[in-house]
């Protein structure tokens, strides 16, 4: 049996917690290509991972329209709550050689035209009167899973010519943590001290959610939800809207080395309760909500 995405697991090994979304890596240095690690994520719960490593050469530099793998910046598709992403460039007056630097920004635009910066990448000055330049090109979103794929183009231009220290290239990046269609996809962030997720458009397939209940329990063999314990009940105070970012404080003690705990969130709408699905004998079905204890 495989459990659905409404549950996440935190396991502690001799190297520390290994069930985290994303990880810590060093950013590049001036004179090196800008990479995924140079992005600054502003929106809570959003993570970025590399799908394809940087490739030398820039197939989009000569003729974008002639290359089906290249797309100009623009909306990359709508999520389940009607919001969509726009990669854009914002210039600011800080010198990069003889040119100005820029922020490569990713915006989330709402149905009411409100805008929120999701993440940004700052161009920077580099040795030899050059600058490390990044450009964002749209690729598409997955409204069901709440993910977006962004193509990052990197180069090292100069106003005085000469041979660049590296060739132009591209990375394909995957962003997670946007509004999903149905599943509650939780992110465990130790630096934030809790769990974060965005309210789906159809929480666990329900038309809406009146409230959520989050549980935790120790990992055992055989696995069971019968040992689940309430972590936070009946939140938020008012019925949430799709796209709301909810955070649950994690008060669970850190598991011993080699042990782990799970977290699971149930949605309730007009007395009907669901908490994800399971895969058994080649078919998906909803989990039995009666195995969870009352949450008060």
Asked whether residue 65 carries a pLDDT value surpassing 60, the answer given is no
Q: Are strands 47-56 and 84-96 parallel, antiparallel or unpaired?
A: unpaired
What DSSP assignment string belongs to 57-121? Answer: S-TTSS-STT-TT---SS---B-TTS-EEEEEEEEEEEEETTEEEEEEEEEEE-TT--EEEEEEE
- Per-residue pLDDT of 147-192, as tens digits, reads 998 888 888 888 777 888 988 888 889 999 999 999 998 887 766 6
Token output for 53: 């490593």
Q: Are 12 and 271 in contact (CB under 8 A)?
A: no
- Per-residue pLDDT of 201-260, as tens digits, reads 999 999 999 999 999 999 888 888 899 999 999 999 999 999 999 999 989 888 888 888
Which residues, at least 6 apart from 219, have a Cβ–Cβ distance to it below 8 Å?
A: 9, 11, 259, 260, 261, 262
pLDDT band at residue 76 under the 50/70/90 scheme: low
Strand positions, DSSP E, 83-225: 84-96, 99-109, 115-122, 124-126, 130-142, 147-155, 169-176, 187-189, 194-198, 211-218
For residues 109 and 106, give the distance between their C-alpha atoms in angstroms, rounded to a whole number.
10
Number of neighbouring beta carbons within 10 Å of residue 134: 24
Q: Are strands 40-41 and 47-56 parallel, antiparallel or unpaired?
A: unpaired
């Amino acid at each position: 049996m495989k459990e659905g995405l409404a549950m996440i697991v935190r396991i502690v090994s001799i190297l520390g917690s290994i069930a985290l979304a994303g990880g810590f890596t060093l950013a590049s240095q001036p004179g090196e290509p800008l990479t995924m690690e140079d992005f600054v994520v502003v929106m809570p719960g959003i993570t970025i991972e590399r799908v394809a490593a940087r490739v030398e050469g820039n197939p989009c530099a000569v003729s974008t329209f002639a290359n089906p793998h290249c797309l100009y910046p623009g909306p990359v598709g709508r999520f389940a709550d009607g919001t969509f992403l726009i990669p854009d460039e914002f210039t600011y007056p800080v010198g990069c050689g003889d040119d100005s630097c820029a922020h490569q920004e990713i915006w989330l635009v709402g149905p009411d035209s409100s805008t929120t910066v999701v993440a940004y990448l700052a161009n920077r000055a580099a040795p030899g009167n050059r600058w490390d330049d990044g450009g964002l090109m749209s690729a598409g979103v997955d409204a069901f899973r709440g993910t977006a794929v962004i193509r990052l183009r990197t180069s090292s231009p100069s106003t005085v010519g000469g041979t660049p220290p590296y060739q132009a290239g591209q990375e394909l990046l995957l962003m997670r943590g946007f509004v999903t269609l149905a599943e509650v996809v939780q992110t465990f962030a130790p630096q934030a001290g809790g769990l974060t997720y965005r309210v789906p458009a159809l929480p666990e397939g329900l038309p809406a959610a009146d409230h959520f209940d989050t549980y935790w329990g120790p990992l055992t063999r055989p696995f069971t939800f019968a040992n689940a314990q309430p972590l936070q009940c009946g939140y938020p105070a008012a019925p949430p809207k799709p796209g709301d970012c909810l955070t649950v404080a994690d008060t669970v003690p850190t598991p011993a080395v080699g042990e782990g705990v799970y977290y699971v969130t149930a949605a309730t709408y007009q007395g009907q309760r669901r908490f994800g699905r399971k895969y058994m004998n080649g078919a998906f079905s909803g989990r039995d909500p009666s195995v969870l204890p009352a949450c008060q």
